[in-house]
Amino acid sequence: MSVLTVRDLSVVFRTETGPLSVVDKVDLSLDAGEIVGVVGESGCGKSVTAMSLTGLLPSSANVTGSAVLDGTELIGAPESVLRRVRGREVAYIFQEPMSSLNPVLTVGRQIGEVLRVHEGLKRRDARARAVELLALVGIPSPAHRVDNYPHQLSGGMRQRVMIAMAVACGPKVLVADEPTTALDVTVQAGILDVLRDLRERLGTSVLVITHDLGVIADIADRVLVMYAGRIVERAGVHDLFAAPRHHYTAGLLAASPVPGEHAGTHRLREIPGLVPVLVTQPDACTFAERCAAAEDDCRVQEPRLDPPGGSGHGAACWHPVRQRRGAAS
């Protein structure tokens, strides 16, 4: 049962130098209680995709397509509708737990704020709930920490506060945008544990955005690989690592040490060539410039995800990587 269904989502920014296409015809679906990973190099449009879902992009962004959350269309919905969705049905965790928390308000106040606006709690009740939520995300002595300011907490604890804030109203979808990137390796695993635990306990669907294949291997059920604003491959996590079909994915995997064992330690290494962050050629494979298997047709026609709209293993590639049998180690 799909909680969130995104079809043909495109984002174009109006800039000083003309329109800039950043996200192009993205399809995505998220089932209840599922953890889907979106992986891709920095600047490929992951965050913009996530922010566009609830209208969080600046007004210079033109968002088209559709994103249906439990029967409600979000793209183009009025601000009043989106405000009720944000923080209550779709909640976010961002990369920098320090700068994402307001330095001049206590964490209890910042968590309580969500409950007060969406559930109409009184200040005292919101505070009591904030203490419970801090306990839920594994913060020791929550009754004391609730009155702390962000600068009094460690990075990992701050990220737990962000998570507590995000799950306060029991959202249907939790978007975790690089939730562990800014954290120490030792702290990363703990944060991923909290996310997994919340999925079990609250049944929340999680969209994990990262450029770290280790995180994907650790936590995701399914994976979407994004390149230059497009989804180029969609697969179950095991299929992806065992048998990548898109040449970009294959390049990523080849450039990374074997993931899984030391979860979170392997960052995506740059694969050779310039990273085109923009969707430059509308009628071509955006990866053609860097692809060893590129042929003429790759430059004149855009490959679409195959099979379109489904959830099986598919790649947007005219000449997919041939499967090496038994090479899944």
Partner 1 sequence: MRGYLFTRAWQSLLTLFLATAVVFLGIRALPGDPALALAGEDRSPEALAAIRAEYGLDQSVFVQFGRFAWNAVRGDLGTSTRTGVEVTAMLGTALPVTIELALLAILLATVLGVGAGTVAAVRRGRPAEWLANGLALIGLSVPHFWLGLVAILYLSVSTGLFPASGFVPFLDDPVANLHHIVLPVVILGTGLSAVIMRQTRSSMLDALGTDYVRTAKAKGLRPRAVIGRHALRNSLIVVVTIVGLQLGALISGAVVTEQIFGLPGFGKMTIDAVFQRDYPVIQAVVLVTATAYIGINFLVDLLYSLIDPRIRVGGAAA
Partner 2 sequence: MTTTTTVPDRGRLLRRLRRNPLAVVSFVVLTLAVLVAVLSPWLAPYAPEATDFGRTFTPPGTPGHPLGTDDLGRDVLSRIMLGMRASLTVGVLAVATALVIGVPLGLAAGYFRACDAVISRLADLMLAFPFLILAVGLAAIRGASLANAAVAIGIAQIPGIIRVVRSDTLRLKSLDFVAASVVDGAGDLWILRRHVLPNATSVVLVQATVAIPAAILGEAVLSFLGLGIQPPDPSLGTMLATAQQFAARAPWSAILPGLAIMLLALAFNVFGDSLRDALDPKGSTR
For the chain, give the longest Cα–Cα distance: 66
Helix axes 155-167, 107-119, angle to 10 degrees: 10
C-alpha distances out from residue 311 to 39, 216, 241, Å? 16, 17, 17
Please report, as ranges, the residues that interact with ligand SF4 according to CB under 6 A: 246-247, 285, 287-288, 291, 293-294, 298, 303, 317-319
The reply to whether 181 sits near Mg ion by the rule CB under 5 A is no
* Residues of span 255-294 touching ligand ADP by CB under 6 A: 277
Identify what 194 binds: ligand SF4, partner 1, Mg ion, none; CB under 5 to 8 Å per kind: none
CB of 306 to ligand SF4, least distance (A): 11
Q: Kindly state whether residue 213 participates in binding ligand ADP, applying the rule CB under 6 A.
A: no
Nearest distance in Å: CB 49, ligand ADP? 7
Q: Could you give the 3-state DSSP secondary structure of residue 240?
A: helix
Cβ atoms within 10 Å of 1's Cβ, excluding its own: 7
- 258 phi, psi to nearest 5 deg: -60, 120
101 lines the binding site for partner 1 (CB under 8 A): yes
In 3D, which of 120, 20, 7, 110 has the Cα closest to residue 66? 7
Within 30-59, the residues that bind partner 1 by CB under 8 A are: 54, 56
Phi, psi torsion values for 288, nearest 5 degrees: -55, -40
Site string for partner 1, 123-152 (x = CB under 8 A): -------------------------xx-xx
The site partner of 298 among ligand SF4, ligand ADP, partner 2, none (C-beta below 5 to 8 Å per kind) is ligand SF4
The window from 88-96, 199-207, 262-270, 278-286 that contacts partner 1 (CB under 8 A) reads 88-96
Binding to Mg ion by CB under 5 A, coded x per residue (else -) over 46-85, reads: -x--------------------------------------
Start-to-end CA distance of the chain, whole Å, equals 32
Residue 205 or 210: the one with the smaller Cβ distance to ligand ADP is 210
CB of 67 closer than 8 Å to CB of 73: yes
* Positions that interact with partner 2 (CB under 8 A): 15-16, 60
Strands 18-31 vs 314-315: parallel, antiparallel or unpaired: unpaired
Query: Residues 6 or more apart from 108 whose CB is under 8 A from it?
Result: 127, 130, 131, 146, 147
* Residue 177 beta carbon to Mg ion: minimum distance, rounded to whole angstroms: 6
Q: How many residues bind Mg ion (CB under 5 A)?
A: 1
- Nearer Cβ to partner 1 (17/59): 59
Indicate which of partner 2, Mg ion, ligand ADP, none lies near residue 16 (CB less than 5 to 8 Å, by partner kind): partner 2
Decide: is 47 part of the binding site for ligand ADP (CB under 6 A): yes
Rounded to the nearest whole angstrom, what is the least distance from the CB of residue 274 to ligand ADP in the complex? 13
Position 194 contacts ligand ADP (CB under 6 A): no
Q: Please, how many CA atoms are within 13 Å of residue 248, restricted to the half-sphere of its CB?
A: 28
Q: How far apart are CA 189 and CA 173, in angstroms?
A: 21
Pairing outcome for strands 18-31 and 2-15: antiparallel
